[in-house]
Amino acid sequence: LNFQGGDNTVPFTRFSTILALVIASPAFAGSSLFQPKGFIQNDQGEQCWYHQEVVEGSHYFHDGVTANIGVLTFDDQSCMQASEFGQTVNKMMINNVISRWYSRGDANFQTRESELFPTSLLQKRGQCIQSKKYPATGIVVDYEESQESIVRVRHGMSAQGCKK
């Protein structure tokens, strides 16, 4: 199938991918669900407070398609400091909180660092958190670190599910 528009022909697969990204984007799904302030526990059980903003029309994860993303910044830049476990537990705790803002509660996202996928369709950076229940549902995340501490996390909806 092709959609015709003037001199341009858009293959159905590309059109459906773009449509899926727009429909699944946090703006469509309700970016108001991103909590502007809150905390995430680190591997030591401490509350790491954050503030968050929504960046509309971002190209951060996808070159050719815009989507709204969340930018979560920790107030104490050293709270998500790596311990003897590295960042494994901290990333899982962050992923557990972020994944609640996407899809339904039964999505069962694979939030452990060892379960993350390296990419998804159209993705240019970060990693991908895959839903076990909904194969077409993924979340792209990118962790910004400074001095072995996670200081910021960008997240958004993947164009489709994650891929290896």
Name the phi and psi angles at 149, rounded to 5. -130, 140
User: pLDDT, tens digit, for every residue of 14-54?
Assistant: 434 443 444 444 333 445 578 999 999 999 999 999 999 99
Instruction: For residue 120, give its domain range.
Output: 2-163
Residue 134's pLDDT is what? 96
The C-alpha atoms of residue 102 and residue 45 are separated, in whole angstroms, by 24
* 3-state class (DSSP) for residue 47: strand
**C-alpha span between 83 and 87 (Å, rounded):** 7
CA distance 156 to 142: 9
pTM: 0.80
**Distance between CA atoms of residues 151 and 81, nearest Å:** 9
Question: Which residues, in sequence order, are bridge partners of residue 109?
Answer: 131
Q: What is the pLDDT of residue 33?
A: 72
Structure confidence at residue 17 (pLDDT): 41
Contact status, residue 138 vs residue 161, Cβ threshold 8 Å: yes
Can you give the pLDDT at residue 47? 98
Q: Which of 94, 90, 93, 81 is nearest to 52 (CA)?
A: 94
Question: What's residue 67's pLDDT?
Answer: 92
> Quick one: pLDDT at residue 21?
43
Q: What is the pLDDT of residues 98-148, one digit of tens each?
A: 999 998 889 999 999 999 999 999 999 999 999 999 999 999 999 999 999
Q: Per-residue pLDDT for 5 more than 70?
A: no
In sequence order, which residues have a C-beta less than 8 Å from that of residue 6 and are 6 or more positions away? Answer: none
The total number of structural domains in the chain stands at 1
